[in-house]
Chains A and B, each alone.
Chain A
Amino acid sequence: MDIIKMETNLSLLAGFADADDRTISIENPRADITEQQIRDIEPYAAPVLIGDKYGAAFTRFKTAKIVIKTKKYLDLT
């Protein structure tokens, strides 16, 4: 019997002062996340996240997208 699995992730694209970007992936996000809820996190992200190359300061979340992946495992028995 084939098995189908679904994975859901929230991808937050974090922007930094040196124009670099970095993605944070959050597993199993709530389905009803609003833009405001993500904006509310930014003040708490600012002292914590730093850029990849030069340790540049976090500026804002540039994009947020919920990614749903479906994997089908074929039964080879």
Chain B
Amino acid sequence: MSTVSIISEVETPQGKRKQKSYTNINPNATNKQLSDFAVRMNTLTDNRYGTTYKIEKTNVDTESGDTRPVPTLEIWNADKTEVITTANGQSGQAVVVFIKYTGDGQLFTNVDKPSTTINMSAPDQGYIATFLNIPGGLTAGTDVVFTFMTPETDNYKAAETQFTVHITA
């Protein structure tokens, strides 16, 4: 099922503010139909406020000829390991990462034993802070490959992106 939204952007002193106003959009609507509708919505707004409407699509059906957005992943603060204690009292070596991502999917690495998969679900780009347990020991020089994968569904092909972190200490 496609997620398609009508998004309004309003200029404010703090910058552009987005507001989602409608989410049930025909997944079979073409880009031109979506664009035409957004243009007509804009004719109803007062230009003095800088409000504009646009259609944002995610997980677009590839068979209709539209392009599915490629998931993105950025990770930083992940080049060092440290011993942490979790809220439930477990202690171990971990990589603490801050992640910026788009789309829905799973995040996993090549070094987790047993493999740790984090399910991510966010309609909008966002930031999360999390950590990955590395119980097998992780030494300087190790490359940790983070893979962010959006799974295949009835309508969409799987897509993935990777980010490699070189552990320095």
Contacts and interface: CB of A to CB of B under 8 A. Distances in A.
Nearest to B34: A48
A26 B19 CA distance: 10
A49 interface: yes
A52 B23 CA distance: 9
Q: For this complex, into which size category does the number of interface residues on chain A fall?
A: 20 to 34
A49 B45 contact: no
B147 interface: no
Given A24-B22, A27-B19, A51-B24, A37 B43 contact: yes
B167 interface: no
Contacts of B45: 26-30
Interface in A41-74: 41, 44-45, 47-52, 55
Majority secondary structure of chain B interface residues (helix, strand, loop or mixed)? mixed
Nearest to A10: B44
Majority secondary structure of chain A interface residues (helix, strand, loop or mixed)? mixed
A27 B9 CA distance: 9
Q: For this complex, into which size category does the number of interface residues on chain B fall?
A: 20 to 34
Contacts, number: 72
B91 to A, nearest CB: 45
A29 B24 CA distance: 22
A1 interface: no
Contacts of A24: 6, 21-22
Closest 6 A/B residue pairs (Cβ): A28-B49, A41-B40, A48-B37, A44-B37, A28-B51, A47-B33
Given A27-B51, A41-B43, 19 more contacts: A10-B44, A25-B21, A26-B21, A26-B44, A27-B10, A28-B10, A28-B46, A29-B46, A37-B44, A38-B44, A41-B41, A41-B44, A47-B37, A48-B34, A50-B24, A50-B25, A51-B24, A52-B24, A55-B24
